[in-house]
Amino acid sequence: MDMDDMDFSKAPPSFQEVRWISTILLTTLASGWLVCYIATIAKAFRDRACWMPIIPLSCNLSWELVFVFLYPPPRLPIVTFWLSLNLWVVFVAVKFASGSNKQSAVFSNGALQRGAFFVLATIFWGAGHVALISQVGPLTAFYYGGLCCQIMTSSAALDKLLKAGHTAGASYTIWISRVIGTSSALLGVYFRAYYWPEVWAWASNPLMYWTTAAFIILDGLYGVAFWNIRRSEKQQQKRHATKKN
């Protein structure tokens, strides 16, 4: 299976009748992650901190680079827009990785070291995505690789939130938009597997079910943790305000 199988104009009549549902899910997928990237960049500059851990971000960037320049899908503009914004996410993630408000230079020595590490990590993950493509084909690797990035992001973001104990650099908008984006991607794959099994039947397997469950559990726990920490921060702010008065 190659990337041309994402050209839905070639789908059978049974799929064409409900193709509008797939189009909605694809639009929601694209919009969800675009909102997530924009909100991440804005929040990072506001709080001088970024919720996105560097390791999964390097994996995600390498996935976008591979599928923009080596194996572009028919809907290239979607992945290209993601890549364009994700480069800004990389900038703020590297610059504000420590969450320090004292970093005033565009690139401190620490940021330069993190940047160099990020480049090496991106090359490493890029080789992994290419190796996966050689084993399962570009279409399947497009989704498996993307889900791998998502699981890494969900688990690392949850770990970072719990260790930090604060929500600086993160927001409900960021969390909800990424949940909507990935949920739409998963629903779209299962939808196409049902209505176009000749090409998409591969998606109905235990590994896809496991990654779906992992995403739901990890990002569900993230939402609960974020709500508890944000509530605690608001209570602390109220106490400080009361003391001042």
Question: 27: domain range?
Answer: 3-244
Q: How much is the average pLDDT of 30-43? A: 95
Identify the top-confidence range among 116-120, 184-188, 241-245: 184-188
Residue 197 has what pLDDT? 92
- Interval 40-51: pLDDT, tens: 999 999 999 999
What is the total count of domains within the chain?
Answer: 1
104 against 39, higher pLDDT: 39
Question: Is the pLDDT score of 204 beyond 60?
Answer: yes
Give the closest residue to 93 by CA, choosing from 182, 169, 173.
169
